[in-house]
Amino acid sequence: MLQPERLRAVQEELEELRAEVGVVVAYGKLIPRWLLDLPPHGFLNVHPSLLPRYRGASPIPHAILNGDPETGVTVIRLTEELDAGPILAQERVPIGPQDTAGTLEARLARVAADLLLRTLQVLEQGEIHPRPQDASAATYCGKLTKEDGHIRWEEPAEQIERRIRAMDPWPGAFTAREGRLLKIWRARVAAGEGSGRPGEIVGVTREGFVVATGRGALEVLEVQPPGGRRMAADAYVRGHRIRIGEILA
């Protein structure tokens, strides 16, 4: 197995392989032109979005964050431009209301493996018909940072709920309570319009506690206190004094 720091260092070995096609999955770097031209059929890339939507490093969480009803897997032939090569195959996958980035990634991985095998078979038979991407419809998403998990309580409840799912498992959605970080792993939009300032705890329920947002309110169902494990929010409420009117930041 070749694991070079620099691709040029293994150029001879790659040339000796005489590979018909190369496959790249989650490589994270651009492939140089000399290597792209090495296999007769070029390099294929498996990307977890419906390209040209969400070119870049974090298509799965962004699809959830933006409330998309579906996403998918795209197999492209690599070019020197990021995720811009012609499309060889594509399959749509619905996004469920409970999907997190983790559950959606696992489902897309299964679809991707099957789609790649089928694409290679069609390529071998000479029946591939690449189609160019519509560059005018392209959108981009960069790498996630820890700050992307910071809950902005002035956002609508629906958007915050999507952020919580989009940031699971990494970096995790979080807020600050009494000056200490509190991660929120699961929540749902509370019934009714809600009242209170954004971030204000306005109620306690059988399953957790309710926080006012910029529009509506959010019922928090699963949290993780500093140094602790994920736990049901009702258990957290029993073990930590929750005050109606306190503000999460």
Tens digit of pLDDT for each residue in 85-135? 999 999 999 999 999 999 999 999 999 999 999 999 999 999 999 999 999
Regarding whether 204 and 174 lie in a shared domain, the answer is yes
Regarding whether 151 and 134 lie in a shared domain, the answer is no
Q: How far apart are CA 111 and CA 86, in angstroms?
A: 20
Band (pLDDT 50/70/90 cuts) for residue 31 is confident
The domain that holds 112 is classified in CATH as 3.40.50.170
pLDDT at 9 > cutoff 90:
no
Quote the pLDDT of residue 228: 96
Last residue of a domain, one of 74, 107, 141: 141
pLDDT at 212 > cutoff 80:
yes
pLDDT at 194 > cutoff 80:
no
Regarding whether 213 and 136 lie in a shared domain, the answer is no
Band (pLDDT 50/70/90 cuts) for residue 65 is very high
> What mean pLDDT, rounded, does the chain reach?
95
Regarding whether 97 and 31 lie in a shared domain, the answer is yes
Regarding whether 178 and 104 lie in a shared domain, the answer is no
Regarding whether 235 and 201 lie in a shared domain, the answer is yes
Q: Which domain holds residue 30?
A: 7-141
Of 64, 44, 160, nearest in space to 108 by CA:
64
Tokens of 20: 């018909």
**For residue 244, is it within any domain?**
no
Band (pLDDT 50/70/90 cuts) for residue 164 is very high
Regarding whether 83 and 23 lie in a shared domain, the answer is yes
Regarding whether 160 and 79 lie in a shared domain, the answer is no
Last residue of a domain, one of 117, 141, 165: 141
More confident residue, 54 or 15: 54
Band (pLDDT 50/70/90 cuts) for residue 26 is confident
**For residue 84, is it within any domain?**
yes
Quote the pLDDT of residue 8: 86
**For residue 249, is it within any domain?**
no
Q: What proportions of the chain, in percent to the nearest 5, are helix, strand and coil? A: 30, 25, 45
Regarding whether 91 and 27 lie in a shared domain, the answer is yes
Q: How far apart are CA 230 and CA 224, in angstroms?
A: 4
pLDDT at 1 > cutoff 70:
no
Quote the pLDDT of residue 195: 84
**For residue 93, is it within any domain?**
yes
The domain that holds 156 is classified in CATH as 3.10.25.10
Q: How far apart are CA 62 and CA 82, in angstroms?
A: 17
Last residue of a domain, one of 106, 123, 141: 141
How many domains does one find in the chain?
A: 2
Regarding whether 135 and 35 lie in a shared domain, the answer is yes
Quote the pLDDT of residue 6: 83
CA-to-CA separations, 44 to 30, 39, 75, 89, 123, in angstroms, rounded = 13, 10, 7, 10, 11
**For residue 41, is it within any domain?**
yes
**For residue 1, is it within any domain?**
no
- The percentage of the chain sitting over the pLDDT mark of 90, rounded to a whole number, equals 87
Regarding whether 165 and 94 lie in a shared domain, the answer is no
**For residue 216, is it within any domain?**
yes
**For residue 49, is it within any domain?**
yes
Regarding whether 114 and 38 lie in a shared domain, the answer is yes
